[in-house]
């Protein structure tokens, strides 16, 4: 998921498809890997940002309704901070879900 290309688009769509069709443990693992990469120093790969933004903003994936997003207060705070940094206008709604 590095730079804009058809391969990056395919990889992003594959990750999103896996997220939508997998059980909760796999969804948590996918989210953890994406969030861990966002939390480290810049630059962020373009495809990573596109994939994470799609996962957080698209209601189809219902990201904020999964149990792992609220498992501990620290995780909820980290996810809210990531959502706020990606799209500030949507962060309050995301942290309430």
Per-residue pLDDT reduced to its tens digit, 36-56? 888 887 787 888 888 988 888
Task: List the beta strands (DSSP E) in 1-97.
Answer: none
pTM of the predicted protein model: 0.76
The answer to whether 55 and 47 are in contact (CB under 8 A) is no
Higher per-residue pLDDT: 84 or 29: 29
d(CA 7, CA 47): 10
The answer to whether 66 and 27 are in contact (CB under 8 A) is yes
């Amino acid at each position: 998921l590095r730079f804009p290309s058809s391969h990056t688009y395919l990889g992003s769509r594959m990750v999103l498809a896996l997220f939508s069709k997998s059980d909760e443990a796999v969804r948590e693992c996918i989210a953890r890997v994406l969030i861990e990469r966002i939390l480290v120093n810049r630059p962020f790969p373009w495809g990573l940002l596109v994939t994470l933004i799609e996962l957080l903003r698209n209601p189809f994936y219902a990201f904020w309704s999964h149990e792992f997003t609220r498992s501990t207060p620290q995780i909820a705070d980290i996810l809210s901070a990531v959502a706020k940094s990606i799209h500030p206008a949507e962060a309050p709604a995301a942290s309430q879900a």
